[in-house]
Chain A
């Protein structure tokens, strides 16, 4: 016996220290293998990418204030929306919740002392940064004008720009995703402490597990698609060129085989945050634990079989269209199961409207709108009209930006006391949550109507008849931009002037709240033993009414 016990005692003596103050040199951060510090490295990086991608969107919305385009040349506009898409998809949305909140709380929630492979975790951050630098270099030096979808033959034959550089950046960020997903799956399988059965896992971990399955199984296909794209662009050998026997739609198949599951990468972790926050702030166990857990898994599985719905108008056969339409409808079933279970969790709950809860309530509203409008574009007939219009833009922004960013902020506020040891200013959190909900709807609700009226996406200019709704949308974008800047300001302020956080400010039941705030470097001085189910809140009938 044992070196491990001696080490435990050592950790016990150091319990006043936290992972933030353990070591203070710059190298102790850049070479750290502590999952909590890596989460903070990721926080800094994806925040920068979020505001860069947002800036591109702001210029686009400003340009669309007048029908002929207020600011930029058409060619420049193409480069702007490509930059917006590439940065937001691969350098913010896909990594966002897993690499930051997931990285931070997974071992804590699980009762483990780190992820299974701490060095792989650090490597994933360096891959992410390398990919990000390459993509940004390409986007800044000459840009790419193909949109983030890189459709052939435009991307292989006709587009001028830094395509290769951006593709390489995306491949590197893809390997960062694979490393993260692999780490999470193996950690959840192998590092569960005694008593942590699968049905005692917090639902956030179920959703991260489902996300990770998509990370590891879908991303390699994108890597291959990008390699083939680069090969074709460099050598012009005919892989996607009909004149040489190739098929441009083949690229779309390979691309969407990753990129449709990728939208579930973006939203599934958000589902997990909702399940955690909604129980903590209604002080009530989750309704339908097993249904929520398995709906995450089934969304991940079904997500691999719906990619064809992006190609209804690309000349694929009507039979494949029917099959992919039906499969796409099937995704709505587990999604709806989640929403209904969350609403049932609220029922008879002791609801507190703290900022995380407000973000979550916003999430449910925005996700429901985004999800239901997805059914419109999943139906073959309707999609013929709505394809490539602003309706599609509004639909996926409701899910990927409205819902997903709300969930990200909810999780960020919820775990902020644990991560930093400081409380955020509650009133500002509530104001920001409400402003984001308002600004988001003002920006994107008009785009549903614009799309229905036939305004195509990705155009720098438009028919003057669309101007009123475009101006409303651009004004909404201003509100949204202010709302997104608010958390940046008050959360930064709270780091320096916020109140010290107790170990469990929300009186939540998760294992991560049983450690000090901020936690110590190796998380637990002792091996936690789990003796009961998660969300062990008193039942409504047992609650003392005051």
Chain B
């Protein structure tokens, strides 16, 4: 058997058709050769991102499982240890992070209308708020370690009743969340650069939407962490 050719009847369950594309030239330059058009590409990219977020959910899921088990085994120690966290920083950071997502989502709306300048401003605001979050978190870590809350020989709380496990969870979880934030800032820089170069239009804003999904997911992780770390014992 040889190659399929359009117009011939085909055999064995196959025939061939011409590729059809209806995108304008400006949009078509963004469309990969494996896609039928911009709509096909956008939907596929979104599907990929949602699936990636599912893997992230399983990733953090392992950590939250550990938290649930340790909490069940040592409720008293976990609650007591949780009261040592600095509530005002955690609460302020929650507000900051939610505002950053709000800013980004507003920027996404502007991108959909082809407003690259507005998108750039909003990305800048998002990144600034994200940076403030990380700085506050860094100060909080510094303060926690100064108060001997990092588990180890000089740990300030009784260790064996779950206090050490709680603070393990605290540092691993906030650390991994911070790593996700840093990756998010890199992605924001990429979107910001694109906005400066006027890459996005009302027909093509796939990357803007993708980074938005990621940033909101990192937000969601924090929204779950906040009560687990700061509120349970209070």
Contacts and interface: CB of A to CB of B under 8 A. Distances in A.
Interface of A: 1-5, 7-8, 15, 107, 112-118, 120, 178, 182-183, 185-186, 189-191, 194, 200, 216-221, 223-225, 227-228, 231, 235-239, 243-247, 250, 253-254, 257, 503-504, 509, 511, 513-516, 522, 524-534, 536
Given A116-B48, A237-B168, A238-B168, 11 more contacts: A2-B23, A8-B18, A221-B58, A237-B151, A238-B164, A238-B165, A244-B159, A522-B33, A526-B5, A528-B15, A529-B15
19 contacts: A2-B20, A4-B19, A4-B21, A5-B19, A5-B21, A114-B33, A186-B44, A190-B40, A220-B61, A224-B62, A235-B150, A244-B164, A245-B159, A245-B164, A246-B70, A253-B65, A524-B16, A528-B14, A531-B13
Given A116-B34, A237-B168, A533-B13, A220 B59 contact: yes
Interface in B129-171: 150-152, 159-165, 167-168
A115 B44 CA distance: 11
Contacts of B44: 116, 186, 190-191
A97 B59 CA distance: 25
Contacts of B160: 243-245
Interface residues of B, number: 62
A221 B25 contact: no
B34 A525 contact: no
A3 B28 contact: yes
Nearest to A7: B33
B102 interface: no
A516 B14 contact: no
A245 B14 contact: no
A357 to B, nearest CB: 21
A525 B16 CA distance: 9
B37 to A, nearest CB: 8
Contact of A1 (B4, B12, B20): B20
A265 to B, nearest CB: 14
B20 A504 contact: no
A528 B61 contact: no
A115 B168 CA distance: 41
Interface stretch (B49-57, B112-120, B213-221): B49-57
Contacts of A236: 152
B4 A528 contact: yes
Contacts of A254: 62, 65-66
Interface string B42-84: 0110011001101110111111011001100110010000000
A93 B89 CA distance: 47
A314 to B, nearest CB: 15
Given A3-B25, A182-B52, A245-B159, A529 B34 contact: no
Contact of B21 (A1, A250, A515): A1
A534 B13 contact: yes
A225 B62 contact: yes
A220 B62 contact: yes
A228 B172 contact: yes
Given A4-B19, A191-B44, A216-B51, A525 B70 contact: no
B227 interface: no
Contacts of B15: 528-529, 531
A5 to B, nearest CB: 6
Contact of B17 (A115, A515, A526): A526
A533 B69 CA distance: 49
A245 B77 CA distance: 10
Contact of B34 (A15, A118, A511, A528): A118
